[in-house]
């Protein structure tokens, strides 16, 4: 089971994302959207209090929106001058906003803007380096209002996503990786969108057993037949060993779904039994796994 982090906090209903341009605010917004937040990018500051009302209960009715994440930054013209006062107004009326300030080193921001070729919103014609320094200076007061400051200088898109999930779920491992194991028959074509594909056509085929041909890999007779074969056991064990090594690494890179294909000739016997066995073993190891069978009825 994922472990709670002692430094985690309760999920806030309203998150305000701000900070330096190029510091990862868009990536953070995508991550919060994955967590069920209603996200708005570049919200006009004058609408902040109005938006806050959507998150408040009224007349015994539940709020229109359960939780929201708003990106407000230097692109909004009145941001620097009016943000502190608007934040105070919102704090008095509720909901309590949670302000996250994103930043990164000048060198990293310079590289990011150079790679994307996007203009810096604070560029007044004096060059990118000057714009970055100017924005950092102008946002000092805003930074002091933050409940959480995240420096993304050493973060990749994937590691930042994982960090956001850890912070806003209270789980050390963030959102669980969902694993789907799909059996299929090669004669009907390979499945689309699989990340890993295992071929089990080397295993003994129940189809050639007259008493088993009409059954599927979910029936006890077929499962017993295959389970008695040492090479079936070894194949499943080796697949599991590989997956127990790979899955945490996929999760570390911020992957939400892992699709695994298990193929035999017809997709009715061997692949079905192996897919079920792998799903069961992964569940026993604490992963969120499920098996489906594309060609079991063919």
Q: What are 125-183's pLDDT values in tens digits?
A: 888 899 999 999 989 999 999 999 999 998 888 778 878 887 887 665 556 688 999 99
Structure confidence at residue 20 (pLDDT)? 94
Structure confidence at residue 176 (pLDDT)? 67
pTM for this structure? 0.61
Structure confidence at residue 115 (pLDDT)? 84
> Measured between alpha carbons, how far is 90 from 84 in angstroms, rounded to an integer?
10
Structure confidence at residue 207 (pLDDT)? 95
| Per-residue model confidence as pLDDT tens digits over 91-102 | 887 788 899 999
> Measured between alpha carbons, how far is 32 from 29 in angstroms, rounded to an integer?
5
Biggest CA–CA distance in the chain, Å, is: 82
- As beta bridge partners, residue 185 has 264
CB atoms within 10 A of CB 69: 23
Q: What is the 3-state secondary structure (H, E, C) of the chain?
A: CCCECCCCCCCCCEEEEEECCCCCHHHHHHHHHHCCCEEEECCCHHHHHHHHHCCCCECCECCCCCCEEEECCCCCCCHHHHHHHHHHHHHHHCCCEEEEEEECCHHHHHHHHHHHCCCCCCCCCCCHHHHHHHHHHHCHHHHHCCCEEEECCCCCHHHHHHHHHHHHHCECCCCCCEEEEEEEEHHHCCCCCCCEEEECCCCCCHHHCCCCCCCCCCCHHHHHHHHCCHHHHHHHHHHHHHHHHHHHHHHHCCCCEEEEEEEECCCCCHHHHHHHHHHHHHHHCCCEEEEEECCCCC
> Measured between alpha carbons, how far is 297 from 267 in angstroms, rounded to an integer?
9
> Measured between alpha carbons, how far is 213 from 82 in angstroms, rounded to an integer?
74
Question: Which superfamily is assigned to 14-169 in CATH?
Answer: P-loop containing nucleotide triphosphate hydrolases (3.40.50.300)
Domain parsing of the chain, residue ranges? 14-169, 178-293
Q: pLDDT tens track of the chain, all 298 residues?
A: 444 443 444 678 899 999 999 999 998 999 899 888 999 988 888 888 888 888 876 656 777 788 899 998 887 767 778 888 888 888 887 788 899 999 999 999 999 888 877 788 888 888 889 999 999 998 999 999 999 999 999 888 877 887 888 788 766 555 668 899 999 999 999 888 899 999 999 999 999 999 999 999 999 999 999 999 999 999 999 999 999 999 988 887 767 789 999 999 999 999 999 999 999 999 999 999 999 999 999 8
């Amino acid at each position: 089971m994922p472990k709670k982090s002692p430094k985690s906090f309760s999920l806030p209903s309203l998150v305000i994302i701000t900070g330096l341009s190029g510091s990862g605010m868009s990536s953070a917004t995508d991550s919060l959207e994955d967590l069920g937040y209603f996200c708005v990018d570049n919200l006009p500051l004058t609408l902040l209090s109005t938006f806050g009302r959507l998150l408040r209960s009224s007349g015994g009715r539940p709020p229109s929106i359960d939780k929201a994440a708003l990106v407000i930054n230097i692109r909004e013209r009145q941001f620097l001058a009016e943000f502190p006062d608007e934040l105070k107004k919102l704090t008095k009326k509720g909901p309590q906003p949670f302000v996250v300030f994103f930043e990164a080193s000048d060198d990293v921001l310079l590289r990011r803007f150079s790679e994307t070729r996007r203009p810096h919103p604070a560029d007044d014609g004096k060059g990118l380096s000057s714009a970055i320094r100017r924005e950092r200076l102008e946002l000092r007061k805003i930074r002091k209002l933050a409940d959480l400051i995240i420096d993304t200088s050493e973060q990749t898109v994937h590691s930042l996503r994982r960090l956001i999930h850890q912070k806003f779920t209270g789980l050390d491992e963030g959102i669980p990786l969902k694993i789907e194991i799909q059996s299929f028959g090669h004669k009907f074509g390979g499945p689309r969108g699989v990340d890993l594909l295992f071929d089990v056509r080397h295993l003994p085929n129940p189809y050639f057993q007259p008493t088993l041909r009409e059954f599927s890999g979910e029936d006890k007779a077929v499962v017993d037949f295959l389970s008695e074969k040492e090479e079936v056991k070894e194949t499943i064990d080796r697949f599991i060993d590989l997956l127990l090594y790979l899955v945490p690494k996929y999760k570390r890179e911020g992957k939400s779904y892992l699709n695994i294909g298990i193929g035999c000739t017809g997709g009715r016997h061997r692949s079905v039994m192996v897919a079920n066995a792998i799903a069961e073993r992964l569940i026993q190891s604490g992963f969120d796994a499920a098996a489906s069978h594309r060609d079991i009825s063919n």
